[in-house]
Amino acid sequence: MSYDVSPPEAPVNNSADYKAAAADDNPLASLHTQSFTEVLVKAGVSVAISTYQAGKVILARADGGITNTHFRNFRKPMGMASAADRLTIGAGFSIHDLRNAPSAARGLTPPGKHNALYLPRSVHHTGDIDIHEMAWQGEDLYFVNTKFSCLCRFDPKVSFEPVWRPPFISAYDMRDRCHLNGLGTRDGKVRYVSALAQTDTPAGWRQHKTDGGFVMDLETEEIVASGLAMPHSPRWHEGALWYLESGNGTLCRTQPGSGKKDVICKLPGFTRGLDFVQNLAFIGISQVRETAVFSGLEITQSQAVRDCGVWVVDIRSGEICAFLKFTQGVQEIFSVCVLPHTFPDIITDDDALLSSTYVLRDELIANVVQPDPNWESADKLFEQGNRAYNDGHAADAIALYKRALTLDAGYLPARFNLGIALSDQQQWGEARQELELVLKQEAGHVEALNSLGFIATRQGDIATARSCFERALAIRPNFKQAQQNLRALTPSDGALNSDYSG
């Protein structure tokens, strides 16, 4: 099967939908060709893109005839690997293993739109190893440990487990001797790596970045491509070995053993990050890189203006058929990973969602009782009441706290918050009644005493107010609000001066 795509036309403006982007000092924005959206729709996929410069993982998804770019925060995300129902991300000094939870995806807003939701299952801290590309081999995760110039296998018991290092590397050394960076699989097994030079001294590769790069076969330890300018992303696809020559901005192909390099396409930026869908190559390109490291390369000398984004190339013809370009906020791409879902999301920081989502084995699910969707608990109603109160909907909060108390009359936090919400609505009598019930359950509840004193002043009951503040201070002498409120009571007329704090 192959995909025929029309040549790219005028790009479509596409601002990022990530809400925090608008508040950033460097907001995120992109544009894309209509053909990029067509590619996603025809193939039934989306694309995950990592950018450590911007600290984001970007999901490019078809949405109503355009490509939606959805941003999620990670600390220095670099290598990514997808397998079946998981997405694994190397970020900073840790590895994040995310699993797809389809049932949770169906509950996202708007209903019925999302068909995948990647939620965190585990985070493993590796230390600062400058983790680069990674790949799954069965249930084993392999990743490039660039600082120590070795290939590692994930082991939860240790930071990293080295399983291979280039034959010319004489010792493990965290000073990056050869800049090992790329990792590719063949027939389900990790098979190819790329590096910037065959050097065995700390940062020795920096002196050979224009032509010292190579791609190596792990099985034979033979060099299958050499003399390269910063190679990256070795991939086996359709019976050939593909890789990116970042320093020249090219997509290349070779047949192992031939020694021949075929340049398939030259792109307008540093090439890094590669994935395939049939005859289409999804290639990450970067605009700006660290000049101390990447100066003197052919692309920096010949292309003063470079782009950043994901370009789609038809590998049959070498023609560019679509692109997604970042115009603001993103200047470099590290990894490009095609996902088998049309509209996925990644959520790592929604406590309510994460606390209410369960991923279980099928045999356990068969013995789990599914509660009535209308079932309510005091805990759930209390949390809903808190959200309503914090959103400025005091009346709704009052109703939710009362419903929680009908299920559990002894739920002290709900009764206290109900008293506070009623006080905000100046329902002094009912608020006082609820707070007095709190004190019957917990005589040392100093916050309830202080609030009850505040209500008593509003009702003109200064003696009770003074008693409440004094009782609160007897329990907690350094309770500043109660101290201030007690001082604010004037002895002559029982009024409150302007220093009173409710």
CATH number, domain with residue 388: 1.25.40.10
User: Please, which residues have CB within 8 angstroms of residue 322's CB and are 6 or more apart in sequence?
Assistant: 5, 8, 32, 33, 35, 36, 38, 39, 311, 312
**Does some domain include residue 372?**
no
Split into its structural domains, the chain has a count of 2
**Does some domain include residue 479?**
yes
Task: Give the pair of three-digit tokens for residue 225.
Answer: 């491509």
State whether 393 and 282 are in the same domain: no
pLDDT of residue 172: 96
414: confidence class by pLDDT, cuts 50, 70, 90: very high
Task: Give the pair of three-digit tokens for residue 222.
Answer: 């033979």
State whether 385 and 342 are in the same domain: no
Residue 14 pLDDT > 50, yes or no? yes
pLDDT of residue 256: 85
**Does some domain include residue 483?**
yes
The one-letter amino acid at 64: G
Q: Phi/psi of residue 254, each to 5°?
A: -150, 155
pLDDT, tens digit, for every residue of 78-122?
A: 999 998 799 999 999 999 999 999 989 998 989 889 999 999 999
State whether 175 and 281 are in the same domain: yes
134 forms beta bridges with: 143
- What mean pLDDT is predicted for residues 64-86? 94
Token pair 């289409």: residue: 280
Residue 16 pLDDT > 50, yes or no? no
DSSP strands (E only) in 12-159: 12-15, 29-32, 46-51, 56-63, 66-73, 77-83, 86-91, 94-100, 116-125, 131-137, 140-145, 150-153
State whether 32 and 156 are in the same domain: yes
State whether 320 and 448 are in the same domain: no
**Does some domain include residue 10?**
no
pLDDT, tens digit, for every residue of 213-229?
A: 999 999 999 999 999 99
Confirm if 453 and 482 have CB atoms less than 8 A apart.
Answer: yes
Q: Which of 316, 333, 362 is where one domain is finished?
A: 362
**Mean per-residue pLDDT over the chain, rounded:** 90
Q: At what angle do helices 378-390 and 394-407 cross, to 10 degrees?
A: 170
**Does some domain include residue 169?**
yes
259: confidence class by pLDDT, cuts 50, 70, 90: confident
pLDDT, tens digit, for every residue of 474-494?
A: 999 999 999 999 988 865 444
pLDDT, tens digit, for every residue of 150-172?
A: 999 999 999 999 999 999 999 99
pLDDT, tens digit, for every residue of 353-396?
A: 898 888 888 778 778 777 777 888 999 899 999 999 999 999 99
**Does some domain include residue 6?**
no
pLDDT, tens digit, for every residue of 303-346?
A: 656 899 999 999 999 999 999 999 999 999 999 999 999 999 99
pLDDT of residue 494: 46
**Does some domain include residue 4?**
no
Q: How far apart are CA 493 and CA 98, in angstroms?
A: 65
pLDDT of residue 120: 96
State whether 412 and 357 are in the same domain: no
Confirm if 247 and 266 have CB atoms less than 8 A apart.
Answer: no
Q: How far apart are CA 152 and CA 142, in angstroms?
A: 6
- What mean pLDDT is predicted for residues 187-212? 96
Task: Give the pair of three-digit tokens for residue 335.
Answer: 């990894």
**Does some domain include residue 1?**
no
pLDDT of residue 361: 80
Confirm if 452 and 485 have CB atoms less than 8 A apart.
Answer: no
Higher pLDDT, 239 or 25: 239
State whether 163 and 298 are in the same domain: yes
pLDDT of residue 19: 32
pLDDT of residue 381: 93
Q: Which domain holds residue 233?
A: 16-362
pLDDT of residue 349: 92
State whether 311 and 222 are in the same domain: yes
Q: Which CATH number characterizes residue 67's domain?
A: 2.120.10.80
Q: Which of 313, 329, 362 is where one domain is finished?
A: 362
Reference 318, options 262, 258, 261; nearest CA is 262
How does strand 262-266 pair with strand 250-254? antiparallel
State whether 311 and 438 are in the same domain: no
Q: How far apart are CA 288 and CA 304, in angstroms?
A: 10
Residue 323, CA atoms < 13 Å, CB-side half-sphere? 22
Q: Which of 337, 362, 387 is where one domain is finished?
A: 362
Q: How far apart are CA 3 and CA 26, in angstroms?
A: 36
pLDDT of residue 307: 92
- What mean pLDDT is predicted for residues 204-215? 94
Residue 174 pLDDT > 90, yes or no? yes
Token pair 């807003």: residue: 109
